[in-house]
């Protein structure tokens, strides 16, 4: 397939790009580099040893996007582009509605104008809000608790309405993506202080930060720390390939959980990382972070059945891969 990849210079997009090229697809990346890296694209090219196009543009720029569609004539879109920081979305909600909802609207208009009828969208487990039960299945109520989550739900709603008449949309609800490419050449490189746990732990391990603040140790979990379903970035990338393959046989709109079905606590992740790095991870136990819940765990059965996909890697694999990347690239992509 000819696949247009929005946000392909970002963390999940760049890793998926490499797997996409390895699977024999052609790709055109559209990214405004607001949170992505030219160097990630350079390395994707080296790792895949394949050519792909790159257009530095914002998906809300209808003219440039239209030119990209006209020139590349994609069969499908993998749509990663968007803003993703929960806290920032509370401070700047309109920026999130503009980028995530407005950006997707612009993208769907371009797809319609150019007869492109297949899209796989980066949704998030955050659409469920506070769990009523675990594991979270796709029938769980959709009650996002912050503007970021609202934008993901609004895009899902838009896709549901857009799909039909030959148009196919699949929203992948990622749980907690972690890890890095097995080569150690690509990984996660957050700008500023990492919001997410594994990149923070990685920066403690490499000595860029003194210690991890563990947010809460009195939750109703095995050891009192928060429990999440961490999905290895390589498994996540493969879920996108599986979605592209399955799309024509799926319902017009599908929303599927992408997780492992197993939980790991903060303490367990820190232990796995310390083992992988062969270093101690200093921790301070502080109060819970506002908006956090004790546990989120995916029920991935629908994705397994409908995509013929299953997660194969675990938290030890992800910790080793992340450390491989962080230790070889202490300053990330260095941009
Ligand atoms: P990322 O920030 O690394 O990648 C997003 C990419 O999109 C960046 O390269 C950025 O430059 C680009 N971008 C943003 N707005 C754009 C615009 N208007 N036009 C063109 N390019 C634009 O984030 P990621 O972790 O790779 O996440 C990818 C997608 O997956 C996002 O939609 C995110 O909401 C979703 N998601 C991420 C997680 C996670 O924990 N990382 C979890 C669930 C869902
Ligand atoms: C994991 C656990 C924290 C940092 C977020 C978004 C979600 C999705 C994935 C995009 C929790 C604890 C964390 C730290 C800590 N993103 N923690 N110290 O909150 O499950 O999900 O990223 O869609 O929408 O909300 O992930 O990695 O931030 O936290 O103790 O410095 O680690 O309390 O228990 P979260 P996370």
The model's pLDDT over 212-231, given as tens digits with 9 standing for 90+, comes to 999 999 999 999 999 999 99
Report the Cα 293 to chain-centroid distance in Å: 20
Ligand 2 atom, smallest distance to 194 CA: 31
List of domains in the chain? 2-180+231-260+306-311 (3.40.50.720)
Q: What is the pLDDT of residue 130?
A: 97
Ligand 1 atom, smallest distance to 57 CA: 20
Question: Whose Cα sits closest to atom 24 in ligand 2?
Answer: 126
Identify the burial level of 262 via C-beta atoms within 10 angstroms of its C-beta, where 0-12 means exposed, 13-18 middle and 19 or more buried.
Answer: middle
Crossing angle for the helix pair 197-205 and 266-277, to the nearest 10 degrees: 40
Q: What is the pLDDT of residue 335?
A: 78
**Could you confirm whether 200 is annotated as catalytic?**
no
Ligand 1 within 6 A of CB of 59: yes
Ligand 1 mutation pick, 11, 61, 192, max ligand atoms within 8 A of CB:
11
Separation between Cα atoms, residue 120 and residue 221, nearest integer Å: 34
Low-confidence stretches of the chain (pLDDT beneath 70): none
Q: What is the pLDDT of residue 263?
A: 98
Q: What is the pLDDT of residue 98?
A: 98
Ligand 1 atom, smallest distance to 174 CA: 43
Instruction: Give Cβ neighbours of residue 288 (< 8 Å, ≥ 6 apart).
Output: 215, 216, 218, 219, 226
Tokens of residue 16, six digits: 């998926």
Interval 84-93: pLDDT, tens: 999 999 999 9
Compute, in angstroms, the gap from residue 40 CA to the centroid of ligand 2. 24
């Amino acid at each position: 397939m000819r696949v247009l990849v929005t946000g392909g210079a970002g963390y999940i997009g760049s890793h998926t790009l490499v797997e996409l090229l390895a699977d024999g697809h052609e790709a055109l990346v559209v990214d405004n580099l607001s949170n992505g890296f030219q160097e990630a694209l350079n390395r994707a090219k080296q790792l895949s040893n394949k050519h792909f196009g790159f257009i530095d543009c914002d998906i809300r720029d209808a003219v440039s996007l239209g030119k990209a569609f006209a020139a590349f004539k994609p069969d499908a879109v993998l749509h990663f582009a968007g803003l993703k920081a929960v806290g920032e979305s509370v401070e700047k909600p309109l920026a999130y509605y503009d980028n995530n909802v407005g950006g997707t609207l612009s993208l769907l208009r371009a797809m319609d104008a150019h007869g492109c009828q297949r899209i796989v969208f980066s949704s998030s487990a955050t659409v469920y809000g506070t769990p009523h039960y675990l594991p979270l299945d796709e029938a769980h109520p959709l009650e996002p608790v912050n503007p970021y989550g609202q934008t993901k739900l609004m895009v899902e709603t838009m896709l549901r309405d857009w799909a039909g008449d030959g148009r196919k949309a699949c929203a992948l609800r990622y749980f907690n993506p972690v890890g890095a490419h097995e080569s150690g050449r690509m990984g996660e490189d957050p700008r500023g202080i990492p919001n997410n746990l594994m990149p923070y732990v990685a920066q403690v391990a490499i000595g860029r930060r003194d210690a991890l603040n563990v947010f809460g140790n009195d939750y109703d979990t095995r050891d009192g720390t928060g429990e999440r379903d961490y999905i290895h970035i390589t498994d996540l990338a493969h879920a996108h390939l599986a979605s592209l393959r399955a799309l024509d046989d799926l319902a017009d709109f599908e929303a599927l959980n992408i997780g492992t079905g197993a939980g790991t606590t903060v303490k367990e992740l820190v232990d796995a990382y310390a083992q992988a790095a062969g270093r101690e991870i200093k921790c301070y136990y502080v109060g819970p972070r506002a908006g956090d819940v004790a546990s989120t765990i995916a029920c991935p059965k629908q994705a397994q059945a409908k995509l013929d996909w299953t997660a194969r890697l675990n938290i030890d694999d992800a910790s080793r891969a992340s450390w491989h990347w962080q230790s070889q690239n202490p300053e990330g992509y260095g941009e």
